[in-house]
Chain A
Amino acid sequence: MLKLIKEVLRVGEATLPYPFAPMEMMPGFRGKPVHDPELCIACAACAIACPPNAISITTDLDQGYQSWHLFVGRCIYCARCEEVCPTGAISLSPNFELAVMNKDDLREQADYQLAACSQCGIFFAPVKEIEYMLAMLQQSGASVENVAIARQLLSVCPECKRKNDIPKLASLYQNNSVSQEAV
C-alpha cells in the first residue's frame, strides 16, 4: 500500500487542467481554418480542393458578386485549402473551441466584386484576381507597356475574346489560301 502511494506521488497528477487553463496544442495541430478576406482573391482554388465542400463559391452574375462561403460544421481540417491557396489567405489555426448553440454561427461569408467585360458588360472574373495577376506580371519584370496591354486584354471576357479572334483567324485563313493559290 505504501509502495502504491509512493508511486502515485512520484507520478503526480496526469489530468490536464483544461478548461480552467488554456490547452497547449502541439505544433502542426489543425484547427479552425482562418480566412483573411483582405488577402483572398476569390479564385475558388480552395472550393475545388475542399473534399467535404465545406468551402463553396456562389456567383451572382446579376449583381456582379462572387461569394466565398465556409461552413465550419462540415470541415474535416485536412488543410487542402491551405495547400492550394496562392496568396496564403487561408490557414489552419490551433483554435479548437468551435462548439455553438446556433448552427449559423459556424458560417463565414466574404463577398467579392466581379469585373464586367469592357465590350459586352457581362461579369466574368473577380476584380481582385485580375489585379493580383497584373501585380504578379509587374513583379516578374514585365515592362509598363506590357502590363498596360495585359490590363486591356484582361478587361475582355473569354467569350468576347473568342469573337474578336474570329475575323483575325478568317483573314489569316484567306491570306493563307491566297498564298497557296499563288504557289
Chain B
Amino acid sequence: MVGKNGNYGDVYIPGVPNSRYAIQQDPNAGQLKGALLKDIARSVYVYRVDCGGCNGCEIEIFASITPLFDVERFGIKVVSSPRHADVLVYTGAMTRAMRIPALRAYHAAPEPKICVAYGACGSSGGIFHDLYCVWGGADKIVPVDVYIPGCPPTPGATIYGFAMALGLLGQKMKAVHHVQEDGERAQLRYPELPSGLRVGIEREARRMAGYLHGKTIADSFLDIVTTNQNDGFEKVDQEIQVYLEKQDDPRLTEIFTRLQEIYHAERK
C-alpha cells in the first residue's frame, strides 16, 4: 500500500500533525479483525518491530516464549517476517528514524492484522516521551488495538496482553476520576505516636536501608510499636524479637536494633 507519490503512508490531512504518515484503515477493519479472531484455525503469528527501545521489552518477549511461561501453548509464535504475521508488536518509543521501517512492517503484514503497542515506550513514548527524536508511542504512526504498559511488561503481563488482543481475556483497567468531597481530610500517619519519634525512626531507617526499603522497614517497626505499646514496652521488645527471628535477616536485625535504640531513648 504505497501512496500516490511513492511515499509510505497514505494521505496528508492539513492541520493534523504527522498525518503525512497516518494510515487510513479499511472501514471494515474491525469486522475483518473479528473474523480473524473468530475463524482463525491455526497459530497466531507475531512479528516484533523494535522502533527504538532499550531491548528490555525484547528480553521479556523472549522470556515469555521460554518453557516457563510458554506462550506457544496458545499457538502464539514469533516469526521473522511481517509477511507471515497476524499480530504486529511495536516495542520502543517511535523514533523519527524508525517511522518509515515501522510503516513498512505495517504495510507488509497481510490484512487483517492486529497491532500491539508493547511497553511504556510503545504505549506512549515512556521515559523518552519528550526526547527530540521521539514522536511518542506506536499509536502516532500505526492504528493500535491493544496497549500493554510495563517497563518492561513481565511475561505474565505479556501473556495477559496477547490473550486480550486475541479476545480470550477481558480488560481489567478502567479510567478513574476522583473529585474531592467537602470535608475530605488526609489522615496523619501513626497519630498515636509522638511525631518526633515517627520522624526519627523513619529518617534512621531510610538512612540505613535507602528510601523505599527504609520506608517499609520503618512502617513494619512502627506497626509493631503501635499494636503492642498499650501492653507495655517489654511486650513491644518481645514482639520485635519474634518478628526478627521470623524474618531471619541479619541486615534487618541491625536496622531494627538501631531503631529500637531510638525508641528507647524517646521513651525515657
The interface bits of chain B over 181-205 (1 if a CB of A lies within 8 angstroms of the residue's CB, else 0) are: 0001111110100111000000000
- Kindly identify which residue among A14, A76, A79 contacts B127, using a CB–CB cutoff of 8 Å: A76
- Nearest CB on A from B193, distance (A): 9
Asked if B94 CB lies within 8 Å of chain A CBs, one says no
Q: Which of A1-38 contact B (CB under 8 A)?
A: 14-16, 18-19, 23, 37-38
- In the complex, the answer to whether A76 meets B156 with C-beta atoms within 8 Å is no
- On chain A, the residues within 8 Å of B146 by CB distance are 99-101
Asked if B73 CB lies within 8 Å of chain A CBs, one says yes
Asked if B11 CB lies within 8 Å of chain A CBs, one says no
- Kindly identify which residue among A82, A84, A100 contacts B171, using a CB–CB cutoff of 8 Å: A100
Selecting from A116-124, A128-136, A147-155, A158-166, the interface stretch reads A128-136
The CA of A152 and the CA of B125, in the complex, are separated in Å by 45
- In the complex, the answer to whether B215 meets A98 with C-beta atoms within 8 Å is no
The interface bits of chain B over 212-243 (1 if a CB of A lies within 8 angstroms of the residue's CB, else 0) are: 10010001000000000000000000000000
Asked if B67 CB lies within 8 Å of chain A CBs, one says yes
The interface bits of chain B over 98-139 (1 if a CB of A lies within 8 angstroms of the residue's CB, else 0) are: 000000000000000000000010011111011000000101
Asked if B70 CB lies within 8 Å of chain A CBs, one says yes
The CA of A73 and the CA of B140, in the complex, are separated in Å by 14
Give how many B residues have a beta carbon under 8 Å from the other chain's beta carbons: 59
- In the complex, the answer to whether A73 meets B171 with C-beta atoms within 8 Å is no
- On chain A, the residues within 8 Å of B157 by CB distance are 96-99
Which of A19, A79, A111 has the most C-beta atoms of chain B within 10 angstroms of its own C-beta?
A: A19
Given contacts A99-B147, A99-B164, A136-B195, contact A87 B67 (CB under 8 A): no
- On chain B, the residues within 8 Å of A156 by CB distance are none
Given contacts A18-B69, A99-B161, contact A107 B148 (CB under 8 A): no
**Which positions in A face B, CB cutoff 8 Å?**
14-16, 18-19, 23, 37-41, 51-53, 71-77, 79, 82-84, 87-89, 96-101, 103-113, 127-128, 131-132, 135-136, 139-141
**Which positions in B face A, CB cutoff 8 Å?**
67-70, 73, 120, 123-127, 129-130, 137, 139, 144-151, 153-154, 156-157, 159-161, 163-165, 168-169, 171-180, 184-189, 191, 194-196, 211-212, 215, 219
